[in-house]
Structure 1
Amino acid sequence: MHFMMSFLELAKRRRTTYEFSPKAVPPSLLSKLLEAARWAPSPLNSQPYSFIVVKSKAAIKGIVDAAYYGNFHTYPSAIIVIALLPEKASEKSHRGMVGGKLGAAESSMSISMPALMMELEAADIGLGACILSLDEKKLPKIGLKKGERALLAVGIGYSRPGTSTTGMHHRRKPLSELVRKGL
């Protein structure tokens, strides 16, 4: 009998993974992550992104090196880069869509949603994952099309044997420190 955990249990179980085993993630599990990402919400259902699945060890190392932070002990076996599409996203600050393009804030929010969906799906199917914010100037060639921006990626793999499948455990602030009454 398969026990299905609640969403809150899944959210609490999810942790960033920094220690991966060299075992490759099968295409069927990568497909599950991509399917979860496909169902991510986006402003006006614009879906202003595409996903680039990277499996080359050299490219993975280059992407990790282009990340703004990350305390990796080993590399993930795959990285899914979330590419922001130039025809759907603007770097200008405006609300909603103007000229068929989302504003900068909505564009950033749009790429974070599929990243979170992949993180949660990875936790649900027993994989480790880490969200990486990227310095585009340092990225290796990964198959970006002209004008696409790669600001976020998700490292995917199996946790290294002997480490927790939930990665590093970080203390969470109590709700009393996070919630306040509005007017």
Structure 2
Amino acid sequence: MEVFEAIRSRCSVRQFKPEIIPDGVLRKILEAARWAPSPFNTQPWKFIIIKNKETLKAVSKYARYSGYLADAPMAIAVIVSPIDNKFSWIESIGEPRFAAAIAVQNMMLAAWELGIGACWVSIERNKVGEILKVPEKHFVLTVIPVGYPETPPVKHDEKFRKDLEDMIFYEMYGLKQD
């Protein structure tokens, strides 16, 4: 699958088959995340693989509108670690979190190419951090349910995407090209 095809065809999957993803396939997905760009190559991400049903259920209580998380065969929690070196100043402008989000995008595209579905889930970070015993000063970015799609994925319809021209300005915000 080519990159543009993966980007355009990937969709959020919320219903999964019960099978656990084999470790070799999971490692490929995580390897894609490992290669994400980050400011000053800080690579501020860590991953917690969650397969325990009770843990998935507990985490799902703090994922609004995401009850499907409890039904997923597994999930990946994405944790942002503090930067403890001369580049620690980038934390004040949110850079490590942005970098971890790029790692998630890499993960989701790699999963899609491998026939694995995933979905970004918004969570109550502090509560989920307590459940997963995430150290203080670390940030729980998201918990991504992953698995083989239960039903064929729904294709994106172009009419539901914002028009590209509505997103582009030239030289400064609000200026359109003549």
Mapped pair 1:29 → 2:25: yes
Question: Does structure 1 conserve the Cα–Cα contact (< 8 Å) formed by 2:80 and 2:140?
Answer: yes
Mapped pair 1:39 → 2:39: no
Question: Does structure 1 conserve the Cα–Cα contact (< 8 Å) formed by 2:56 and 2:69?
Answer: no
**1:172 aligned partner:** 161
1:119 deviates by: 0.5
Question: Does structure 2 conserve the Cα–Cα contact (< 8 Å) formed by 1:50 and 1:84?
Answer: yes
TM alignment of 1:91-170, pairs within 5 A:
97-98=87-88, 102-139=91-128, 141-160=131-150, 163-164=151-152, 166-167=153-154, 169=156
Relative to 1, partners in 2 of residues 1:104 and 1:78: Cα closer, same or farther, differing over 3 Å? farther
1:144 deviates by: 2.0
Q: Measure, in 2, the Cα distance between the counterparts of 1:72 and 1:167.
A: 17
Question: Does structure 1 conserve the Cα–Cα contact (< 8 Å) formed by 2:64 and 2:123?
Answer: yes
Q: Measure, in 1, the Cα distance between the counterparts of 2:50 and 2:84.
A: 23
Relative to 1, partners in 2 of residues 1:104 and 1:62: Cα closer, same or farther, differing over 3 Å? farther
Q: Hey, which of these two has a bigger chunk of strand by percent?
A: 1
Tell me which stretches of 4 or more aligned residues in structure 1 moved more than 4 Å. Answer: none
Aligned-partner residue type, residue 117 of structure 2: G
1:179 deviates by: 2.1
Aligned-partner residue type, residue 125 of structure 2: E
Q: Measure, in 2, the Cα distance between the counterparts of 1:74 and 1:149.
A: 21
What secondary structure sits across from 1:111 in the alignment?
A: helix
Q: Measure, in 2, the Cα distance between the counterparts of 1:97 and 1:64.
A: 34
What secondary structure sits across from 1:154 in the alignment?
A: strand
1:63 deviates by: 2.2
1:75 deviates by: 2.3
Q: Hey, which of these two has a bigger chunk of helix by percent?
A: 2
Same amino acid, percent of matched pairs: 28
1:71 deviates by: 6.4
Unmatched 5+ stretches in structure 1: 90-95
**2:82 aligned partner:** 86
**1:53 aligned partner:** 49
Aligned-partner residue type, residue 27 of structure 1: D
Question: Does structure 2 conserve the Cα–Cα contact (< 8 Å) formed by 1:111 and 1:152?
Answer: no
Question: Does structure 2 conserve the Cα–Cα contact (< 8 Å) formed by 1:85 and 1:148?
Answer: yes
Deviations 1:20-51 (A, max 9, x none): 11111111111111101100111111011211
User: What TM-score comes out, normalization by structure 2 length?
Assistant: 0.82
**1:92 aligned partner:** none
